[in-house]
Each structure stands twice: as C-alpha cells, then as structure tokens.
C-alpha cells in the first residue's frame, strides 16, 4: 500500500510555520480591531448560488476553480473560494442592514482548484476586512490604511508597492466597455477562445487574461481612466488626497481592474516583487453593486483580502519556539510530587514540560532537545527537604529552592 500524502495543493502547517501563520493572523486581527473592525466568521461551505451569482458565470473561479458538490440532501454546495460573498450573504440573511455602517474582519481557509505553485495553493488562507454602508471615498482610504498598518506592523510594508486605479461609476464603465469591445473585435482572430467567449458577456475580464496573446492585445487597448466622467474623477482625486494625507505611498496602475460588474471606483493591490510570480499579498476594491446583485437593498461596500501564506513568507524576524521549564523527577517517589508541581506551575502561567519516562540522563537530553530554559530536578534528597534543584540550562548554575518558593524564583523564566 503506498504511503499517504497530503492532497495536491494542500500542505501541513507544522509548528514553525504555524508560528509565522499565527503572527500574521493575530497581528491583522489586533490592527483591524484598532480601526473598529470586529471579527466574524462565515461557514466554510455555502450554497453554490452564493458564489455563482456574485462571481459571474464567466469568471475563472466559477468555470474552473470552485470545489462544488451535491450533499446527501441534494443541495448544491461549494467550499468558499473567497470571503466577501459570504460576508455579504450574512449581511442579507442575518438582517444586518439596519445596523449599517458595519466593519468586519475575518480569517480562514479558502478553496480553489488552481495549479499549485509557490504562494498559490488549493486550500489557502486569507484575512480580510469589509466596510459596508459607506459610500464616501474616505471609506476606501480607511480600508487601504488598515491594510498598510497590518503590513507595517509585520515589518513588510516597505517591501511592498501599493498600486491603485479607478473603475469609475457605471456610466464611466459603460463608456469604457464600448471602446474596449471595439478594440478587441479588431483583433478577434488573435484572441484566445476563452476571451472570445467573454467578449459579449464580460469583456473587462479579458484585461485579466493570463494568455500571452491576449496580454499583447490588451497592452494596446484604450486606458480606462481616459473615459471617466467628472464625478468618477472627483471620487478618485479624493481617494488620492486621503492617501497623501495619511502618508501612504502609491503608484497609479491604469491597467489594474476588477472584471465583475459590481465593482466600481477604487481598486488596489499591495504587491511584493520578492515573492515572484504570485506577488500580490493584498487586493481589494469598492463593490457598491454586490449587495444588490445578491438580492439585498443597494448598499455600498469596500474591502480587501490578503493571503496569509504569502504574507507569512515575508516575515523576516525569526519567531522563536517557546522555551519551557523542564520538570525532571528522579525515581518513582518523586513522580507524584513532580506531577503536582508541574500542574501548579502551569496554572500559575509557566510553560512547563514533564517527561513521561526515562532516567535522569534521558530526561535531561529531552530538556536539551526541547530547548528548555531551566530544569527543576526532584530526587529523594529534595523530597526529604521539600525542595527542588533549579538548574539554569544556559549558564549551568544551579541552586536548591524550597518548593513553595519556586514560582517566585521561576518568574525570571516566565514567557
């Protein structure tokens, strides 16, 4: 029988990587909370319609990448490929619109059937923030500021570039769509089959095409910002002024788009060249039409999602393993005392390891292996005196300490 392996596109988060993973999530949660974004969680699977309706029948996610299945009750379900649609579904199904504006932070696994490579997995994890009910450009500025603050707190902001663009309002989008279709139809025979299929239904998605031939055609396409009306230009100017006011540097990328019809105005990405091909670490934008698309009342929204694995790869500081205190009993008589002592020290807030078997040589070897900072040794002599031998495993210095004084003496090693 062949040995079992993780499913392709998934991987185990072992302790060292998990510490980096946790650093990203805990930092993001704490920073988002300072901005007033409260944590929420949605189910890992939803009715497939949640994503089919929001992501569009022509999107790569729906046509190629969703993990969908029929459950025993005959329901069509999908493992969530992204978080925003689920948050908006919760807004509608939980009747939360009466409490607008709402600020949410989330984190958790997402699932897409993609070709696995560095920084891109089939089960991956994201943090995200969503601001619902705010139509003003200040909302876009705040959302971007939250992302920048998280990357700054993780020591990664200065190695990223914030790229921004505007999609304008529906009028601007319609004007651009018309000239884009005219341009693309002039190269119809050179477009990929997939882009030809999208030409009538969702031509803006062609701007996201990964086909090299499509990309060459898109490179000569009209620029979106040339077709903005006055209101859209004013909105984008306000976003840029806001970013300038809070000291967040950015570059305008006129080719940066979101292909779905409910996106409007600001779109942005934080990218990191050091990550290679999968360089986007955080991406988002304004989606004022999404709630209405899903059957709710028209509600403005803006947010972003960030890949935890990608951000974790950017952490430069070494995240140390916890260094416990090792309790080392010598002989059977010391076993019960060591067990009681270990539990009392843990309740007092110490990280403590108690080996389950072995002589003192093996137990001290284990203490070295787990990088214990100190050892509390209890033998017959110590039992008779109601004491323990405390050995500093860095300096080698040791002293006998009464058991009732151990917590105070061990305060030096508290983590």
Mean pLDDT value across the chain: 91
Chosen domain end from 252, 286, 313: 313
DSSP 8: T
Q: Which helix (H) or strand (E) holds 364?
A: helix 360-369
**Domain presence at residue 8:** no
Closest CA to 169 of 257, 265, 290, 238: 265
**Domain presence at residue 186:** no
How much is the pLDDT for 207? 80
Question: Is 121 in contact with 111 (CB distance < 8 Å)?
Answer: no
Chosen domain end from 283, 313, 343: 313
**Domain presence at residue 206:** no
57 with 145, same domain: the answer is yes
Percentage, residues of the chain above pLDDT 90: 67
**Domain presence at residue 182:** no
108 with 38, same domain: the answer is yes
Residue-number span of the structural domain to which 362 is assigned:
325-413
Chosen domain end from 266, 286, 313: 313
95 with 142, same domain: the answer is yes
**Domain presence at residue 362:** yes
The model carries a pTM of 0.89
Which CATH number characterizes residue 38's domain?
3.30.930.10
Q: Where are the alpha helices (DSSP H) in 290-359?
A: 290-293, 308-313, 333-347
Of 60-69, 346-355, 391-400, the range with the lowest mean pLDDT is: 60-69
Closest CA to 128 of 296, 283, 313: 283
pLDDT in tens, 224-259: 888 899 999 999 999 999 999 999 999 999 888 876
Which CATH number characterizes residue 382's domain?
3.40.50.800
pLDDT in tens, 306-360: 999 999 999 988 778 889 999 999 988 898 999 999 999 999 999 999 988 888 8
257 with 343, same domain: the answer is no
The token pair that represents 282 in the structure block = 């955080």
392 with 272, same domain: the answer is no
291 with 347, same domain: the answer is no
Structural domains of the chain, count: 2
306 with 337, same domain: the answer is no
Question: Is 189 in contact with 199 (CB distance < 8 Å)?
Answer: no
Which residues face 164 on adjacent strands? 252, 268
> How far, in Å, are 167, 186, 269 from residue 219 at the CA level?
17, 14, 19
pLDDT in tens, 280-299: 999 999 999 999 999 999 99
150 with 295, same domain: the answer is yes
The token pair that represents 28 in the structure block = 């993001």
Closest CA to 403 of 324, 322, 348, 331: 348
287 with 336, same domain: the answer is no
137 with 56, same domain: the answer is yes
């Amino acid at each position: 029988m062949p040995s079992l392996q993780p499913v392709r596109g998934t991987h185990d988060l072992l302790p060292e990587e998990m510490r980096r993973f946790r650093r990203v999530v805990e930092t993001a949660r704490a920073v988002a909370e300072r901005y007033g974004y409260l944590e929420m969680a949605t189910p890992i699977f939803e009715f497939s319609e949640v994503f089919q309706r929001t992501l569009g029948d022509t999107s790569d996610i729906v046509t190629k990448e969703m993990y969908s299945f029929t459950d025993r009750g005959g329901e069509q379900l999908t493992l969530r490929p992204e978080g925003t649609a689920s948050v908006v579904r919760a807004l509608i199904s939980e009747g939360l619109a009466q409490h607008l504006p709402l600020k949410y932070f989330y984190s958790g696994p997402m699932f897409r059937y993609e070709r696995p490579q560095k920084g891109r997995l089939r089960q991956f994890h994201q943090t995200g923030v969503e601001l619902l009910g705010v139509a003003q450009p200040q909302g876009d500025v705040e959302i971007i500021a939250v992302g920048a603050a998280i990357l700054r707190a993780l020591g990664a902001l200065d190695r990223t570039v914030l790229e921004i663009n505007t999609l304008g309002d529906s009028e601007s989008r319609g004007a651009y769509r018309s000239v884009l279709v005219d341009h693309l139809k002039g190269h119809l025979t050179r477009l990929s089959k997939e882009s030809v299929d999208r030409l009538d239904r969702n031509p803006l998605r062609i701007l996201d095409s990964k086909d090299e031939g499509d990309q060459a055609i898109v490179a000569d396409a009209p620029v979106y910002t040339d077709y903005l009306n006055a209101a859209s230009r004013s909105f984008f100017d306000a976003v840029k002024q806001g970013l300038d006011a809070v000291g967040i540097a950015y570059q305008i990328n006129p080719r940066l788009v979101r292909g779905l019809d409910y996106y409007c105005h600001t779109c942005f990405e934080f990218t990191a060249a050091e990550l290679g091909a999968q360089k986007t670490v955080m991406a988002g934008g304004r989606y004022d039409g999404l709630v209405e698309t899903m059957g709710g009342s028209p509600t403005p929204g803006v947010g972003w999602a960030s890949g935890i694995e990608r951000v974790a790869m950017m952490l430069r500081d070494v995240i140390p393993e916890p260094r416990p205190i090792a309790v080392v009993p010598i002989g059977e008589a010391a076993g019960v005392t060591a067990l009681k002592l270990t539990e009392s020290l843990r309740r007092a807030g110490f990280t403590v390891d108690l080996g389950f078997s072995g002589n003192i040589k093996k137990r001290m070897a284990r203490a070295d292996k787990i990088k214990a900072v100190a050892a509390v040794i209890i033998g017959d002599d110590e039992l008779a005196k109601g004491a323990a031998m405390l050995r500093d495993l860095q300096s080698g210095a040791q002293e006998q300490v009464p058991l009732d004084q151990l917590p105070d003496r061990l305060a030096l090693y508290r983590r």
